[in-house]
Amino acid sequence: MPNLETNLHPIVISQVMINFAASFGIDKDTCLLGTGISEAQLYDGEALISRSQEMQLIENLILALPNEPALGFKLGLQYSVSTFGVWGFALRTSKTLRKATAIALRYLPLSTAYCTIRSFDKAELFNISFDPSGIPTPLRNFLLERDMATGVKLLTELSLAGVSLSRIEFQGPPPEYADDIAALVGITPIYHSHHNMLGVTVEEADRLLPTYDAQLVRLMDEQCRYQLERRQQTGVTGLVRQQILGPLGLVASLEEVAKALAMSPRSLRRKLESEGTHYKSVLDQERQQIAEQLLRGSNMKLDELAFHLGYTDSASFSRAFRRWTGCSPGEFRNQKK
């Protein structure tokens, strides 16, 4: 299982949980209790949170709805391809379900999954297995069901024409709400199995998806790779990235980041140097990536973009952008048209 502290998730995944809880009358404050997730973060589409924060939110949800049958499974069905940003878009542009699964597993930390997931062919079925053994025991069954239900939802969405789930199996005994799960997926699960798994026919796994786009496949793979590197940064450099991409934002000074990390500015500089970087370099890398994305994909005015990236005016931003890329923001935008 990926390291809970250094692997970041987009805030939208938590928003899905909060909206789900609201449908049962559970308020937002109850969900966020002890998570350290702020109101501002919830409305920041680019905010990232740690898995430990997300797990606290999950625990709050379980405690708030102790008698709701198949709670994890019902939550998993709320996620969609669009929930996962670039990871979901990469799945949508894949050639087949089999290839989409390969991409999903390659960049799994960009999803909401906590289980260890694998794929294999057996008895004319393409199977996706879910191993929850690395999940803390109190949350294990809930997150297993959530991950499997999310898998069901994504398989259905990607096919558009409607892939028929041929098989769903669980290692454990049937829960009291086994009938609820059967009703949600449309087939009766098999229990006491060797795997927790979903299965579709090999023919359906290899059928061309209607949303396949050969030109976008490579681009999405590159974007997924970058996002994975960005979210899985370890050491002090990773902690700095978490702060400037999360609660402090791109306007944060080294002193503010040091305070948030409970260390002196001098110690922060020294630790970053020991990892072969420095604060301005980390900040510039994130600013450049976001700037290039916005210049490619939006018509945002330069003064607005500069403000968004933490610059006082467009001239300062333009000078920085030329230093990064060798061209002006306007020239870069025109080249990408």
Q: What is the pLDDT of residues 204-254, one digit of tens each?
A: 999 998 888 888 888 888 888 877 776 665 678 878 887 887 777 788 889
Kindly write down the DSSP assignment for every residue of 112-144, as one continuous string.
Answer: S--SEEEEEEETTEEEEEEE-TTS-HHHHHHHH
- For the chain, what's the residue count? 337
Q: Supply the pTM of this predicted model.
A: 0.70
Indicate the pLDDT class of residue 85, thresholds 50, 70 and 90.
confident
Q: How many whole angstroms separate alpha carbon 193 and alpha carbon 211? A: 34
Kindly write down the DSSP assignment for every residue of 56-81, as one continuous string.
Answer: HHHHHHHHH-TT-TTHHHHHHTT--G
Give the domains, in start order, of the chain with CATH numbers: 1-68 (no CATH), 72-215 (no CATH), 216-335 (1.10.10.60)
State the pLDDT at residue 178.
96
pLDDT at position 1 over 60: no
Are 128 and 149 in contact by the 8 Å Cβ rule? The answer is no
Range scoring the smallest mean pLDDT among 2-11, 120-129, 181-190: 2-11
Q: What phi and psi, each to the nearest 5 degrees, are found at residue 205?
A: -65, -30
Indicate the pLDDT class of residue 3, thresholds 50, 70 and 90.
very low
pLDDT at position 53 over 90: no
pLDDT over 90 for what percent of the chain? 43
pLDDT at position 35 over 70: yes
Average pLDDT over residues 173-190: 95
Average pLDDT over residues 49-69: 90
The pLDDT tens digits for 283-302 are 888 888 888 877 877 777 88
pLDDT at position 154 over 80: yes
- The residue whose two tokens read 């290692």 is 171
pLDDT at position 143 over 60: yes
State the pLDDT at residue 104.
93
The pLDDT tens digits for 251-287 are 888 999 898 888 899 999 988 887 778 899 888 888 8
The residue among 295 and 196 whose pLDDT is bigger is: 196
Q: How many whole angstroms separate alpha carbon 224 and alpha carbon 234? A: 18
Instruction: Please choose, from the candidates 44, 40, 38, 37, the residue with its C-alpha nearest in 3D space to the C-alpha of residue 58.
Output: 37
Give the chain's mean pLDDT: 87
Residue type, 29: D
State the pLDDT at residue 161.
52
Instruction: Please choose, from the candidates 96, 6, 82, 5, the residue with its C-alpha nearest in 3D space to the C-alpha of residue 45.
Output: 82
The pLDDT tens digits for 100-137 are 999 999 988 888 899 999 999 998 999 999 999 988 89
Q: Where are the alpha helices (DSSP H) in the chain?
A: 11-22, 28-32, 39-42, 51-64, 71-76, 85-92, 97-106, 137-159, 178-185, 202-205, 214-231, 235-245, 254-260, 265-274, 279-297, 302-308, 314-325, 329-335
State the pLDDT at residue 241.
82
pLDDT at position 4 over 50: no
Indicate the pLDDT class of residue 163, thresholds 50, 70 and 90.
low
pLDDT at position 44 over 90: no
Q: How many whole angstroms separate alpha carbon 47 and alpha carbon 225? A: 19
State the pLDDT at residue 112.
85
State the pLDDT at residue 73.
97
Give the alpha-carbon dihedral of 25, 27, 32, 34, to 10 degrees: -100
Q: How many whole angstroms separate alpha carbon 103 and alpha carbon 3? A: 20
